[in-house]
Amino acid sequence: MKKNRILYLLLTSTMILGMVLSACSPAPAAEAPVVEEPEAPAEPAPEPEPVVEALTLDDTFGTMLAEMEGYNTIKADALLLEIVEDTPPFILDVRSVEEVTETGHIEGAAHIPVNELAQHTELLPAFDTPIVVYCGSGWRATIAMTSLHGMGWTNVRALKAFYSDWKEAGNPVAEGLPEAMVLDAVEVDADLLAAADAATMAVAGMGTKWGVQPADALNIAMVENADLVVIDVRRQEEVDEKGYIDAPNFVHIPLEDFIASQDMWPSADTPITVYCGSGHRSTMAMTMLLSYGYEDVNSLKGGYGGWVGAGYASVGGVPTLAQNYNVMLTNMVGYNTIKADALLVEMVEDTPPFILDVRSVEEVTEQGHIEGATHIPLNELTQHIDLLPAFDTPIVAYCGSGWRATIAMTALHAMGWTDVRALKATYSSWVEAGNPVVEGLPEPMVLDVATVPESLSTPIDASVVWAKDHSWGGKAADALNTDLIEKPEMILIDVRRAEEVEEKGLIAVVDQELLTIPLESFIAKASMWPADKDAEIVVYCGSGHRSTMAMEILLSNGYTNVTSLKGGFSGWVEAGLPVAEFVAAE
């Protein structure tokens, strides 16, 4: 047993010694781990180039209408300020070569005739460059401004001034044609370029130059062309306030909505006239329509203001003096006069006329009045509208001699009455003939059936008050004869018919300007009226009635010094005063 125990201890010690020695021996080197190289990230796929869709006319014109200020116009004084800034606008003259060669150009301007605009885009700056376009009067500048926007330029304005006014004001100009400078700054989309070229070439080749249509031409066209469509591009509030042209085929599309409202456009082969307030907006619309392929489009010269100023028919809105005067002149019979015997007949009819005495309180108190008459002194006419009948009631006005009755008749027509005549007889002759009269002042009767807007009553009130303060506007023949020697700046207007002038001659003037404007067309030819409303003007006719009507028309339109020749041309001749033979213009 003991021997086995010793053997056991020896084996155990040997095992322990082996374990100790093993622990003290250095450990074998470990194998290095295999490190895999990471894969290189894949190159990202290139993003596709953004697809840039070509601009359309809807885009370019839509942007113009959405962003425009002052309908893309600039006045001369504002341009003068911009010219001296660090970055002045690009100025573009779109007149003809002949005009620029003869009259020069705004200093620093480039030149491209409007009908060649799309053919010379290499002369134009970048699309975002501020551009100011001008021409002779502003019409072609509006066409060019609109066309440039249609091709993609974003900041283009039209100078609203005549080039002649710019030059006469001493603003910077240079002689002759400017030297062309090729910029090659843009590439215009081919379709937009073609549309602009077609529009500017079309408007240049129209029978009415540059698409201008005068009011009288439109008036005729509406009668002769049943297919003509008239488009009003004013704002709704303008139409509501001022009315609109009484056209058989009328469409209202405010310019601001013109592109968005293409469903309201007529077909492309339709003859169209566009109008606005003065002509600028309608010319923009005309140019846009031509860009879309329309071929027969005009813009109304002078716009709605010119239309009503010429007395042509309109609907709605507040009537104007010109409209009411034109109705009077168009419908008058016998120059709106009535003789005493005719009035006597009418007074006993079932519906006699309304008789209006416009003499002074003193005259009526002292002399009495025609039986049944209402009394309103002429200078107080607008202050007693409540005493007057409905606008369509026949009215006969009278005074002492007929002069004030003529003024009253004209003034009442101006305020909206449509059937007013002046009694061509003196009140004294009426009394002496034993016709019905009543002593003293008539009892006023308030009717309150007519309302006259201030836009009509105010100028009429000013005119009749001025007339009262100036002897009712009468000018004696001998006084005029003296004035012709002493007042070379005086202006004479003959309102007789052409055949009267040709047959009987004219008042012989010294240095004065003499205009011949028949009363019948006095409103239609308002453009012939003197430009200076403060000028001294004497109007004459055959006897004094028509000239007094014209005097009242001028005074109510803001002229400040107008008289009517007493006795007219007949009285002038009877006084042996100088007469000149009429010489027709060549």
**Could you tell me if residue 148 is inside a domain?**
yes
Burial class (CB in 10 A: 0-12, 13-18, 19+), 83: middle
Q: Which residue has the higher pLDDT, 97 or 54?
A: 97
Distances in Å between the Cα of 1 and the Cα atoms of 6, 8, 9, 10, 521 are 9, 11, 13, 15, 163
**207 pLDDT higher than 80:** no
The Cα–Cα gap between 107 and 134 comes to 12
**Could you tell me if residue 16 is inside a domain?**
no
DSSP 392: T
Give 11's Cβ-side CA count (13 Å radius). 6
The Cα–Cα gap between 73 and 279 comes to 13
Average pLDDT of the residues in 362-373: 98
Of 397, 429, 458, the residue at which a domain comes to its end is 458
3 state SS of 232 = strand
- Same domain membership, residue 480 and residue 444: no
- Per residue in 215-229, pLDDT (tens digit) is 999 999 999 999 999
pLDDT, mean over the chain = 91
DSSP 296: S
The Cα–Cα gap between 23 and 6 comes to 26
**Could you tell me if residue 487 is inside a domain?**
yes
From the CB of residue 261, how many other CB atoms can be counted at a distance below 10 Å? 13
Give the pLDDT confidence score for residue 5 in this predicted structure: 41
Closest CA to 544 of 518, 571, 525, 521: 571
**Could you tell me if residue 121 is inside a domain?**
yes
DSSP track, 304-327: HHHHHHTT--EESS---HHHHHHH
**8 A C-beta contact, residue 286 and residue 202:** no
Average pLDDT of the residues in 253-275: 97
Strands of the sheet containing 297-300, edge to edge, are 212-213, 297-300, 272-275, 229-232, 250-252
The Cα–Cα gap between 465 and 541 comes to 23
Q: Domain span at residue 400?
A: 326-458
**Could you tell me if residue 27 is inside a domain?**
no
Percent of the chain with pLDDT over 90: 84
- Same domain membership, residue 355 and residue 268: no
Structure tokens given for 244: 């609109």
- Same domain membership, residue 183 and residue 64: yes
DSSP 422: E
Give the pLDDT confidence score for residue 24 in this predicted structure: 41
The Cα–Cα gap between 573 and 576 comes to 5
pTM of the model: 0.64
Of 317, 346, 378, the residue at which a domain comes to its end is 317
- Same domain membership, residue 183 and residue 234: no
Question: What is the C-alpha R_g of the chain?
Answer: 42
User: Domain with 522 in it: what CATH number?
Assistant: 3.40.250.10
- Per residue in 269-279, pLDDT (tens digit) is 999 999 999 99
- At residue 500, what is the residue type? E
- Per residue in 293-340, pLDDT (tens digit) is 999 999 999 999 899 888 788 888 888 899 899 999 999 999 999 999
Closest CA to 395 of 429, 367, 418: 418
Scanning 433-535, the segments in alpha helix (DSSP H) are: 454-469, 477-486, 498-504
* Cβ-Cβ contacts under 8 Å for 439 (sequence gap 6 or more): 368
* Confidence class for position 585, pLDDT limits 50, 70, 90: low
**Could you give the number of structural domains in the chain?**
4
- Same domain membership, residue 492 and residue 449: no
| Size of the chain in residues | 586
Ranges assigned E (strand) in 89-209:
90-93, 105-106, 110-111, 131-134, 156-159, 173-174
3 state SS of 515 = strand
Average pLDDT of the residues in 234-255: 95
- Per residue in 453-507, pLDDT (tens digit) is 999 999 999 999 999 999 999 999 999 999 999 999 999 999 999 999 999 999 9
